[in-house]
Structure 1
Amino acid sequence: MKTILIVDDEHLIANMLGYALEDQGYRVVKAGDGQHGLELLEQEQPSLVITDFMMPQMDGMELAQAIRSRLSAAELPILLMSGAHGNLGRATPELFTAVFDKPFEVSQMVAKVCALVGPGD
C-alpha cells in the first residue's frame, strides 16, 4: 500500500483530501506543519507529498527545499496547494511536481496522485 503525506495546517482540507485518497486505496499520514512533515517523511517514507504553502514553523517552500536536499527523497513527487502563492510554486519546478490553486477539485488532485505513483492498493 502506497503512503501519501499531507502537510497542511488547515485540518478540514487535509481531512477531506485524506479521505478521498484513502477511498482510492492509499495510506494517508498527516502533519500540521513542515517540521512535523519532515519527521513523518523519515518515519513513513511516503510515495508522494502534498503540502500547503502557508504554514507555521516551516512553509511549503522550505519543506520542499528540505526534502530535495535529502538524497533519499530528491526525486519524490511534491504537490503544492496554495491560495495566494501558486505562482511561486510554478516558478520553482525543481521543487514542485505540480501546483494546485485553492480552491481546487479534489478529484483532480486524486487523479494527479494516481498518475504519478499508480494505484493505491
Structure 2
Amino acid sequence: MATVLIVDDEFGIAELLDAVLADDGHTVLTAANGRQGLARVAAQRPDLIVLDFMMPVMDGPAMLAALRTDPATREIPVVLMSSMPEETVRARASGHAAFLRKPFRIRQVRELVERLLAGRDGDG
C-alpha cells in the first residue's frame, strides 16, 4: 500500500485519519504543522499528503508552495482540507490535487485517497 502524510494541528482529526488509513493498509505519518510536514517529507517521501489549511508555525498554503517549488516533491498529490469554502481556499492556495471540506465523512476520505493513489504510475 501507500505512505500517506497527515499534516493537521487538530490532534483528533490527525488521529482519526491515521486510524482509518492505517486500517486500510497504508503507512501513515503525521505532523502538527507545515514545518514538521516538510521535515517528514524530507525524511520519507510520502505517496500522498492530506494537508490542513490553517495551522500555526507554517500553514497549509505555505507548505504547499514549498512542496511545489521543489522538483523532488512537486508531483506528490496533496489533498487540502478546511472548514472554509473551497473558493476561499482556492484564493490563497493552488497546486493541490483535491479539496476536502471539514467536517467530512470517513467514506469521502477513503474514496478520495484511493482515487488519488490509483493515479500513481506504480512507482510509489
Normalised by the size of structure 1, how large is the TM-score? Answer: 0.90
Q: Which of structures 1 and 2 has the larger relative contact order (alpha carbons within 8 angstroms, sep 6+)?
A: 1
**Aligned equivalents of 1:61 and 1:9: distance in 2?**
14
Residues 1:63 and 1:85: Cα distance change in structure 2 (over 3 Å): farther
RMSD: 1.6
**Aligned equivalents of 1:36 and 1:11: distance in 2?**
14
1:70 corresponding residue in structure 2: 70
Residues 67-113 of structure 1 show CA distances to partners (whole Å, capped at 9, x for unaligned) of 00110111110001101263243347841111111101121111111
For structure 2, which runs of at least 5 residues remain unmatched after alignment?
119-124
- The percentage of counterpart residues that share the same residue type is 38
Q: Is the 8 A contact 1:53 1:85 kept in 2?
A: no
**Which is worse superposed, 92-101 or 48-57?**
92-101
1:12 corresponding residue in structure 2: 12
**Aligned equivalents of 2:30 and 2:84: distance in 1?**
22
The correspondence of residues 38-117 of structure 1 with structure 2, limited to 5 A, is 38-84=38-84, 86-91=86-91, 94-117=94-117
Q: Is the 8 A contact 1:90 1:99 kept in 2?
A: no
2:122 corresponding residue in structure 1: none
Paired residues, what number? Answer: 118
Normalised by the size of structure 2, how large is the TM-score? Answer: 0.88
